[in-house]
Amino acid sequence: DGGITQSPKYLFRKEGQNVTLSCEQNLNHDAMYWYRQDPGQGLRLIYYSQIVNDFQKGDIAEGYSVSREKKESFPLTVTSAQKNPTAFYLCASSTRDSEAFFGQGTRLTVV
Amino acid sequence: QKEVEQNSGPLSVPEGAIASLNCTYSDRGSQSFFWYRQYSGKSPELIMSIYSNGDKEDGRFTAQLNKASQYVSLLIRDSQPSDSATYLCAVMTSGTYKYIFGTGTRLKVLA
């Protein structure tokens, strides 16, 4: 089945630790996106990529990093510089200027 | 800052009634508009996309777009308790292939 797979579903991070969230899609979509959602809030764009080996910062990129080495994969690293990382992280993909489809999300908690 | 605005609600309607959800956007050059439904703790799922002025119907859902007024709406006919969720409006900004999301409207359908 085609879709977007995010892993893990739940992730716990200690203070000062870097963690990486995985996002894989088999929809042959060119564009991929990472959003952050805080309780009761909308989606805020962290990074997006329109083609392999290229990506752009979104509205809240500080403390995050990404790579796009393969069309299917767009991992997000939450670095220790992100001081308030507890949130629901959503990965999405799309063909250009059509609807985006989302993975099931990763819930990150700082412990 | 290009924005998408929605009334946060909650919007309460009785079962069987029509629910009307509204969204305004600031980027006059936006070309693509989307409605997503998000249940608590889950990822957004696409309901409708609309690209040209007028109405687009899909089952119990109708999306309406008025580019001159920078306004997009979603009507849900014969509302059911299972429609209770947060509805997110998304706009693709012109020339960037970024999706900007509103903060969502929480809908409650009362049985």
Please name which of B21, B106, B36 lies closest in space to residue B71, comparing C-alpha atoms: B21
Q: Residues of B with CB below 8 A from A27's CB?
A: none
pLDDT digits (tens, 9 = 90+) for A5-40: 999 999 998 888 999 999 999 999 999 999 999 988
Please name which of A98, A76, A70 lies closest in space to residue A89, comparing C-alpha atoms: A76
Residue B2 binned pLDDT confidence (cut-offs 50, 70, 90): low
Please name which of B33, B20, B42, B106 lies closest in space to residue B69, comparing C-alpha atoms: B33
Q: CB distance A42–B98 less than 8 Å?
A: no
Q: CB distance B44–A90 less than 8 Å?
A: yes
For the beta carbon of residue A20, count every other beta carbon within 10 angstroms.
Answer: 13
pLDDT recorded at residue A96? 76
pLDDT recorded at residue A10? 96
The average pLDDT across B9-20 equals: 96
Q: Residues of A with CB below 8 A from B49's CB?
A: 98-99
Which amino acid, one-letter code, is at A18? N
Contact present, A91 and A108 (Cβ < 8 Å) = no
pLDDT digits (tens, 9 = 90+) for B41-58: 999 999 999 999 999 999
Tell me the two tokens of residue B42: 């889950």
Share above pLDDT 70 across residues of chain B, in percent, rounded to a whole number: 98
The average pLDDT across B73-84 equals: 97
3-state secondary structure of B83: helix
Which amino acid, one-letter code, is at A107? R
Contacts of A17 (CB under 8 A, 6+ apart): A80
Residue B85 CA neighbour count, 13 Å, CB half: 19
pLDDT digits (tens, 9 = 90+) for A47-76: 999 999 999 999 999 999 999 999 999 999
How many whole angstroms separate alpha carbon B70 and alpha carbon B3?
11
Q: Which of A35, A97, A105 sits opposite B92 (nearest CB)?
A: A97
Q: Residues of B with CB below 8 A from A33's CB?
A: 98-99
Closest residue of chain A to B103, computed from CA coordinates:
A42
